[in-house]
């Protein structure tokens, strides 16, 4: 099954095709999971190359269970990462979930990711 993800950063790539999940064998991805993607739709920019990228899941459409209620995000989204697991874009748009903030807060590589989020946490 082919899955296309919208990319919510300013790298120039708009839609990416999911290839594999890195270290995750669950059926549904959660915020904070790292996947491998290949660009499908993009603006012509010299920095965009047709190669495999790592990406982190910002928000998935799967229902999230919180203490008292369920939260249904409106759409799924990812942000691209460099080979050193640092965000490729300088700004990240759209919404992010609180679960992403909790997942990335303990890891040094993803602290830059949290500082570049221009949207809001839901």
Give SS3 for 74.
Answer: coil
Is 106 a residue whose pLDDT tops 80? no
**pLDDT range class, residue 109, cuts 50, 70, 90:** low
Structural domain count of the chain: 1
Comparing 82 with 67, which gets the higher pLDDT? Answer: 82
69 assigned to some structural domain: yes
11 assigned to some structural domain: yes
pLDDT for 67: 66
d(CA 113, CA 91): 9
80 assigned to some structural domain: yes
pLDDT for 90: 83
Is 95 a residue whose pLDDT tops 80? no
121 assigned to some structural domain: no
**pLDDT range class, residue 73, cuts 50, 70, 90:** low
Question: Which among 55, 32, 50 has a CA at the least distance from the CA of 40?
Answer: 50
CATH number at residue 61: 2.40.150.20
Taking residues 18-46, what's their average pLDDT?
81
pTM score: 0.80
120 assigned to some structural domain: no
Is 78 a residue whose pLDDT tops 80? yes
> 41 is in which domain, residue-wise?
4-115
When computed from its CA atoms, the radius of gyration of the chain, rounded to whole angstroms, is 14
Q: With beta carbons less than 8 A apart as the criterion, state whether 35 and 20 touch.
A: yes
Q: Average per-residue pLDDT in the chain?
A: 78
122 assigned to some structural domain: no
């Amino acid at each position: 099954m082919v899955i296309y993800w919208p990319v919510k950063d300013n790298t120039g790539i708009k839609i990416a095709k999911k290839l594999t999940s890195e270290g995750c064998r669950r059926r549904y991805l959660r915020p904070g999971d790292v996947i491998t993607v290949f660009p499908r739709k993009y603006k012509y920019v010299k920095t965009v190359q047709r190669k495999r990228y790592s990406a982190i899941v910002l928000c998935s459409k799967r229902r999230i269970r919180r203490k008292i209620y369920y939260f249904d995000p409106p759409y799924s989204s990812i942000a691209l990462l460099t080979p050193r697991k640092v965000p490729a874009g300088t700004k990240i748009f759209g919404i992010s979930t609180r679960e992403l903030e909790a997942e990335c807060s303990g890891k040094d590589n993803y602290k830059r990711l949290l500082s570049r989020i221009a949207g809001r946490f839901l």
